[in-house]
Amino acid sequence: MVHIVITYSFCGRVDYGIYINLYLGIMKKNMGSTDRLIRVVLALIAGVLVYFGVVGDTVSYILLALASVFVLTSLVGFCPLYVIFGVDTCHRKK
């Protein structure tokens, strides 16, 4: 479920934002096993590239951050971006 909210900052500026209800009642698995496996493999490849120094300093931080997100979402089985874009790769029995 996606909500569009309007928040007011302390400076009087209006911020428009999108947030997702991630509490356990709404956070349902939306990643299939193939999707999760691909993310873990990509995270491992990124880790190896950083470990052996194939990529530069800034790129290595970006790759490690992306790899961390990939591993975390793979372990949980939920991707918040999939909710925003309406994607569901988890094949459930009906």
18, part of any domain? no
Higher pLDDT, 36 or 9: 36
33, part of any domain? yes
Mean pLDDT check: name the lowest of 3-7, 37-41, 87-91: 3-7
Tell me the per-residue pLDDT of 21-75, one tens digit each, with 9 for 90 and over: 444 446 788 899 999 999 999 999 999 999 999 999 999 999 999 999 999 999 9
94, part of any domain? no
What's residue 64's pLDDT?
Answer: 96
The C-alpha R_g of the chain, in whole angstroms, comes to 17
Domain range for 76 is: 28-85
**Overall number of domains in the chain:** 1
19, part of any domain? no
10, part of any domain? no
What's residue 43's pLDDT?
Answer: 97
Higher pLDDT, 1 or 48: 48
75, part of any domain? yes
32, part of any domain? yes
What's residue 28's pLDDT?
Answer: 81
Which residues, at least 6 apart from 66, have a Cβ–Cβ distance to it below 8 Å? 43, 46
76, part of any domain? yes
Q: What are phi and psi of 83, to 5 degrees?
A: -65, -45
Higher pLDDT, 4 or 70: 70
